[in-house]
Structure 1
Amino acid sequence: MTLKNILSATALSAGLVSALAAPLAAEEKTDFKLAWSIYVGWMPWGYLEDSGIMNKWADKYGITVDIVQINDYVESINQYTAGAFDGVSATNMDTLSIPSGGGVDTTALIIGDYSNGNDAVILKGEGGLADLKGKPVNLVELSVSHYLLARGLETVGLEEADLDAVINTSDADMIAAYATSDVEAVVTWNPLVSEITGSNPDANVLFDSSMFPGEILDLMVVNTETLADNPAFGKAVAGAWYEVMGLMAAGDDGRYSFTTVKPVEYTVPSDGPVGDILRACGRHPWRPSHLHYIVKAPGYRTLVTEIFPEDDPYLDQDTVFGVRDDLVMRYHKKQASDFPHGMALSGKVTEPFLHVEFDVTLATETG
């Protein structure tokens, strides 16, 4: 089956779902539901629900947002398409096929991450992609896994017709299926990939999504009409998501680390009264690039601060006077081989990167 046929067949399948249960018409309302399934990039949705952060943001806008875990990925999208949920976690290609095929206009509200290695084709034992010829492959049929398989096969001149069979297997059953003797290869996503490769010495990753970076987008999508009629819904969900993205706990030794993109300089709003003041003072609207920190610990004062790279052109002319010498840091250029272990991008960085160290000291509440 070719990529074009995969998308067409998925759309047909979704059309059957919509015939059984037509999507509900959008309207102004106050109660909303989101569905998510197990994937490494979507785990924060469960935390949003359990931590109360989603409730906090929903309360701010006078609505309720329930976040429900569905154990079967395709089933979660089918339920969204049928109108049982206002949004669902899904990849870009699955959004373009299943909901679209069911006549549901859908908007990508959150781009959670790019797969970049989190989806993989795994063979039992030695071999390469070409060795899949004549073998059965287990995957979630007509999903992003089917797409990944097709992308991999075309790199070695094969098509789905060259396989013995594609066996539809729920993501909830994938780990157990791999352990059976009749399964020879699977296509799945993390954390299932890590569990399979970590528990089975014979697991051989033949192809993964890092080989075409940026192509698979992991999203939270919502019904376009629902979002248009209820903008508070989108604001609450986006606010809750980005609050969680800003949370990170230090280790027992007080150390922390994270990867991000080096920011660039930007302008503050220069229209209205702010613009009038800047022009009257003969000042430009530019701020130097910086990373914001909000650091909290029990018994200590919360610290809100920022750090600036020493080579920024606006370092000595920040329009809001936020730069201090102790907040100016040097970004050191490192080779890809120096990238630290134990991080999400470990083993995937192929070009030089920048590294900066910044120690944080908190004052006690009584100090």
Structure 2
Amino acid sequence: MRNFDEFTITEAVLQRVAAAKDLRTRQISEALVRHLHSFVREIGPTQGEWETAIDFLTRTGQMCDDKRQEFILLSDTLGVSMLVDAINHRMPEQATETTVLGPFFVKDAPELACGADISGGMNGEPMLVTGSVADARGKPIAGAVVDVWHSDDDGYYDVQRKDAVAAAMRGRFHTDSDGRFWFWSIKPAAYPVPHDGPVGEMLEAQGRHPWRPAHVHFMIGAPGCEQLVTHLFVAGDQYLDSDVVFGVKDSLIREFKDMPAGIAADGRKMDQPHCHLRHDFRLKARASMRPAQAASCLTVAR
């Protein structure tokens, strides 16, 4: 086969990839070729535009390191990450909705006792977070692992700040026998995603801003349940309707209630005002469980 043109090249490539031994690889490859070739035909790029596209992808890869993943950022800002999340997390009505992981999750956050302060000494309005974890039917889950992380009141995560202590504004907690957890930190602020690279250039060219509304990240896991990755967003934030990564859902918008000085909800005496975020999370049963098990996620000892 030779002498391909714009009308015959697609079928030729499809015939080549049909030799893939793995059926899933073949399915993905064929879909990629069909849609990519259709995209190219639709826009009819000049040779210079094609070279610009190759340069964009090259520089996107060059921006990636152990603290920054520009390709995930590209996926996020094009809505692909939320599309993948939606396809993989069709949640029952009772379960907490999911959203994107984001680029600032760090494995092996310090394990702390409930009530600990994770602010790392960063300046900001004190924030108490209280919550609980239960299965989709409302049965409390003891010993659930709750990872949390968020930005400071300037919109930066610890990995972005040279002056921040290690693991500031992040930590890992375990729910008590009643499925409850609580901790102190500082109220997060809205922030722009990193926009000093190729993705930032793309956003500017598209006439878009790089901002995300203020939020706190949660990753919650328990045996017998699907891992939950989600955020809780600050009600009233100006970017709720234009989140650059399309991650906002109405059920995840919460009041960070202003509280006066005095006794806080966890019994701590506060000599200054603070805010209080309260939310109860419900986990979806893992799909692979037997029907008898799926009625409730397994409760495990702390």
TM-score category, normalised to shorter length? 0.3 to 0.5
Higher helix fraction (1 or 2):
1
| Higher RCO (CA-CA < 8 Å; seq separation 6+) | 2
- Please, what TM-score do these two structures have when normalized by structure 1? 0.33
Find the structure with the greater CA-based Rg: 1
